[in-house]
Amino acid sequence: MIGVSAEERAEIEAFIFREARLADESDYAAWEALVTEDMHYWVPFGAANYEPGTRMSYINDNRTRLATRIRQLMTGHRHAQTPPSPMRRPITNLELLERTDCEYEVAGNFVLYELSVQATRVLRLWAGRTTWRLRRTPEGLRLCRKVVELVTASEPQPTLAFIL
Partner 1 sequence: MLIDRAVELSPVGQLALGAGWIGQRVASNWKMWPESDNDGYHLAIAHASLQKAVPGTQYEAALFSPDLDNTSQARDHGRGHVELELRCGYDRELAWLGTTRDKVRDYAAALERAYGKEAADRILWDGPPHALIFPNLFLGEMNLAVIEPVRPGETIHYHTPLLLDGVDADFNDRVLRQSEAAMGPASFFLPDDAVIAERMQQGLQVGRGTADGWIDLSRGAGRERRDAMGRVGHVSDETTNRGFWRHYRSVMTARA
- Give residues in contact with partner 1 (CB under 8 A): 43, 45, 53, 55-60, 65, 68-69, 71-73, 75-81, 118-120, 122, 155-161
CA distance 29 to 35: 11
Q: Which is nearer to partner 1, 94 or 117 (CB)?
A: 117
The full DSSP string for 82-99 is: SSPPPEE--EEEEEEEEE
Q: Which is nearer to partner 1, 4 or 117 (CB)?
A: 117
Give min distance, CB of 101 to partner 1, in A.
32
Give min distance, CB of 2 to partner 1, in A.
33
- The DSSP letter of residue 56 is -
Q: Could you tell me if 31 and 146 are in contact, meaning their C-beta atoms sit under 8 angstroms apart?
A: no
Give min distance, CB of 91 to partner 1, in A.
20
Give min distance, CB of 16 to partner 1, in A.
21
Strand 87-88 relative to strand 91-99: parallel, antiparallel, unpaired?
Answer: unpaired
Q: Provide the 10 A C-beta neighbour count for residue 86.
A: 14
Q: Which is nearer to partner 1, 11 or 58 (CB)?
A: 58
Q: Which is nearer to partner 1, 120 or 137 (CB)?
A: 120
Q: How far is CA 47 from CA 3, 38, 131, 155, in A?
A: 26, 23, 12, 12
